[in-house]
Structure 1
Amino acid sequence: MAKHDTQLSDLFHALADPTRRQILTRLAQGPAPVTELAGPTGLRLPTVMRHLSVLQEAGLIATSKDGRVRTCAIVPEALTPMQAWLEEQRSIWEARLDRLDDYVMNLMKERDK
C-alpha cells in the first residue's frame, strides 16, 4: 500500500467529524432525505450539505434527487480500503506485542534462574 493513499485519507477525513459520523449512523438504518438528516444536527441546511458533500466525495454516500427531495444512502463497501488498512496495522502491532511478550518472558525466566 502506498504511503499516501488519497482514498484512505479522504475516508479518514470524512469520518473525523462527529456530525458526519452521526449522519452515517442514521443512514446505516436506510436511505433518508437531506432534511431528515439535518434535523438532529441542529445545523443549517447549507452546512449539512457541505458535510454530505465530504461524505459523497469520499464515496461513503450516494445521493439521488426526486423532484425537490434529495435522498442519501450509505455505500458500505466504501469502507473496504480503511478496513484493509486497519487490519494491516492490527497485524503489525500484534506481531510487535508478541515479540515484546516473548522478550519479557525470557527476561523473567533468566531472572528466576
Structure 2
Amino acid sequence: MRAYRTVVASVLDDVPQGARGYRTLTVVVRGDQQNQLAPATYLGIDRTVMTYLIDDLVTAGLVERRLTPADRRRRKIVATARGVDGYHGSPGAPGRPIPSQRRPAACGTE
C-alpha cells in the first residue's frame, strides 16, 4: 500500500490536496456544476471542506468561481484552460492510457 501511495502522490503532486483535489477537478471538468455545493454533494465532501478545497484549486489556477447570471449570490465552479489541460494530461483521463495495472515490485507481487 505504501508503494501505491508513493506512485499516486507523485502523479498528483501538482494538484492541491492530492486525490481529493483531483476528484474535484474531475467532477468540475466533466460536469456542469451549478454551484459549489453540487460537487461537494456528489463526492460526499463536507461543504465547509469543499470551500477550502475550491480555494486551493482557484489559487493553483485550475478552476475559477463565476457569478451565476440567474443569482449573483451563487458562484459556478468552472475549470480553467490550465485545469482542463492538467486533467486531460493525467493518466486515465479520456484519451490517455492508464499506467500498467501491474503492481510495483515493492507490493510483493514479483
Output the TM-score relative to the length of structure 2.
0.53
Residue 28 (structure 1) aligned with residue 29 (structure 2): yes
Q: CA RMSD in A?
A: 2.3
Q: Is structure 2 residue 79 aligned with structure 1 residue 77?
A: no
Residue pairs, 1:43-62, within 5 angstroms: 43-62=45-64
Structure 2 residue ranges without an equivalent (≥5): 1-12, 90-110
5 Å-filtered alignment, 1:8-19, equals 12-14=14-16, 16-19=17-20
Rg larger in structure: 1
Higher helix share: 1
Q: Assess if the C-alpha contact under 8 Å between 1:63 and 1:72 holds in 2.
A: yes
Contact 2:15 2:21 in 1 (8 A): no
Q: Which amino acid aligns with 1:55?
A: L
Contact 2:64 2:79 in 1 (8 A): yes
Q: AA paired with 1:26?
A: V
Seq. identity, %? 16
* In the alignment, structure 1 residue 40 sits paired with structure 2 residue 39: no
